[in-house]
Amino acid sequence: MDDRSGLTDRLGNNLNPKDTLVLHDRGRIMTDLAVTIADGGRFMSDLAVLRDQGELFGSVASDTTAWRMLNGLPLSACGTPPSRRSPGWLRRTK
């Protein structure tokens, strides 16, 4: 899939370790996960939907690789915890 917005590159620049050779671009994995969620996916195994359409999406990381990437992310990459967001956000979820 052609990423004209530059999202994949920006995510990769922020998430890929600077001092290590990366075999799977973390920005691409995050983008694939986002597309899976937007398509109604609820489980990591739903990445198979993208994987089965190689001509459209290209190479998609395995479920195991995606899990390893998510588990290896530093907490700082995950944004502000919900408890520290605005009280309005907290009220909407209760």
Cα 74 from chain centroid (whole Å): 14
Does residue 1 form part of some domain? Answer: no
pLDDT tens sequence across 2-25 = 577 787 888 888 777 777 777 788
Q: What is the pLDDT of residues 67-83, one digit of tens each?
A: 998 888 777 766 666 56
How many other C-beta atoms are found inside a 10 Å radius of the C-beta of residue 69? 20
Long-range pairs for 40-44: beta carbons < 8 A, 24 or more residues apart: none
Which residues constitute the domain of residue 35? 7-93
Give the whole-angstrom CA distance, residue 79 versus residue 73.
11
- Number of domains the chain is built from: 1
Confidence (pTM): 0.70
Rg (CA), the chain: 15
